[in-house]
Amino acid sequence: MLEDQPTTNLQSARAAARAGIVASPSAHPAPLAPGEPPFVSIVIPCYNEERFIHKVLENLAGQYQPARSEIIVVDGRSTDQTRERVAEFKRAYPSLRVRLVDNPARNIPAGVNLGIKEAQGEIIVRMDAHSIPSANYVRRCVEQLTCGAEGDEEVSVVGMPWRIQPGAETRAARAVALAVAHPFGIGDAKYRMPDRAATEFVDTVPFGVFRKSLWQAVGGFNEALLANEDYDFHYRIRQRGGRILLDTSGHSLYFARPTIAELARQYFRYGSWKAQMVKLHPRSLRWRHLVAPAFVAGVASTALLGFLWRPAWWLLLLGVLPYALLSLVCAFQLARRGRDMSLLPLIAVIFPVLHVAWGSSFWLGLVRAPRGAAR
């Protein structure tokens, strides 16, 4: 069951879309009449997401006027039932513009760029096949983009925070979801923080809403970055004086990796690609990006120094013990929040897995480029 239930109006809009009450879409959007909302293109890069894609599309149905919107699913030639799920949705909602576009490169930045090139709208909603938007996501973000935050401040990109959910019905998956939403696990990435009340300007958002003309002006998403492509895109926008708004009136449900091993692989990849971005844009580095690499470098160097100077191992112990204690304290807080104290040891293990995977791969990424691979 999704956390946010659609309003009566949204249910009515979905019912109308299913029944085809709204006039069937033409090949091109009609010209914008005075007072009419802008045409919106929702772009969803996708690969092997049969579990989530239909839910994502269901939650997008009715969020915006069918005559003034389209959904473009850019699929990396999925080998599961993803394409069939998209076809089922198209049959269920005949009045919605839904297109399936092939992505031969089979990676996210190439898929997003391809979808935006195909888009007919000036307003782009960059969604994800692994995250389910709340009922007000599209309309609210478009309003903020076109009207400005707090009435008159200029906004370049608008997004909403994640509410991180377990990727499976297991204790390990629940522990992972809790750990990757905690500041000790992931730093001060505000879009990951649960229960934030303030709408504010930030450095990045997960799934932004922006103008196609801005995408063209900054050169699109960097297809050489197979992770951190959103942060890179937003950094280049901020370098031009643009502002990124995190609107907390809604959210998207993000499903975390279901196992600790998959999480380790994910963050090892993230660290490597963050290093590639830092080499491109050294000034983009924030303090939170350095904490895990500094921890890994400190532990490794002190441990090696101990073979030459034995007191270094005591220094290592003095450094690791406070870290372990802090991990246990944070794990206790999260286990209590999750109302399951049996999660405590799992969460306490996940924290160092996150930090070591990310930190070590960051250093490796500085000296060599990671392998290009689909995600």
- What is the model's pLDDT at position 148? 61
Hey, how many other C-beta atoms are within 10 angstroms of the C-beta on 325?
10
Whether residue 3 lies inside any domain: the answer is no
Domain end marker among 230, 258, 286: 258
pLDDT score for 197: 65
Rounded Cα–Cα distance for residues 256 and 165 (Å) = 6
Q: Within this chain, do residues 93 and 238 fall inside the same structural domain, yes or no?
A: yes
- Per the structure, the complete domain to which residue 363 belongs is given by 274-367
Q: Looking at the predicted structure, is the pLDDT value of residue 34 above 60?
A: no
288 shares a domain with 188: no
Q: Which residues contact 294 (CB under 8 A, 6 or more apart)?
A: 359
CA distance 373 to 14: 37
* 278 lies in the same domain as 250: no
Looking at 232, 258, 284, which one is the last position of a domain? Answer: 258
Of the pLDDT bands very low, low, confident and very high (cuts 50, 70, 90), residue 147 is: confident
Same domain, 208 and 307: no
Burial grade of 280 (CB within 10 A; 0-12, 13-18, 19 or more): middle
The CATH number of residue 38's host domain is 3.90.550.10
Same structural domain, 99 and 232: yes
Average pLDDT on 153-166 reads 92
264 falls within a domain? no
DSSP code, position 154:
-
Computed on alpha carbons and rounded to an integer, the radius of gyration of the chain in Å comes to: 22
Under the banding of pLDDT at 50, 70 and 90, the label for residue 22 is: very low
Shortest CA distance to 203 belongs to which of 180, 232, 165, 227? 232
Q: Is residue 315 a part of any domain in this protein? A: yes
- Domain termination residue (choose one: 258, 285, 311): 258
- Give residue-wise pLDDT tens across range 62-117: 899 999 999 999 999 999 999 999 999 999 999 899 999 999 999 999 999 999 99
Do residue 216 and residue 317 come from a single domain? no
pLDDT, one tens digit per residue, over 270-299 is 999 999 999 999 999 888 889 999 999 999
* Helices 287-305, 260-280: crossing angle, 10 deg rounding: 110
Coil/strand/helix, residue 141: helix
Both 42 and 132 in a single domain? yes
Is position 133 within any domain? Answer: yes
49/123 same-domain check: yes
Same domain, 184 and 296: no
**200 within some domain:** yes
Q: Flag whether 269 is in a domain.
A: no
- pLDDT per residue as tens digits for the range 189-241: 889 876 666 789 999 999 999 999 999 999 999 999 999 999 999 999 999 99
As a whole number, mean pLDDT of residues 318-345 equals 95
Domain count, the chain: 2
Residues 301 and 330 reside in one and the same domain: yes
Beta strands 40-46; 69-75: pairing state: parallel
| Residue 266 located in a structural domain | no
Q: Distances in Å between the alpha carbon of 283 and those of 124, 223, 227, 235, 286?
A: 27, 20, 18, 10, 8
Q: Do 309 and 160 share a domain, yes or no? A: no
In a domain, 51, yes or no: yes
Q: Is the pLDDT of residue 146 over 60?
A: yes
Q: How many residues does the chain have?
A: 375
Residues 17 and 64 in one domain: yes
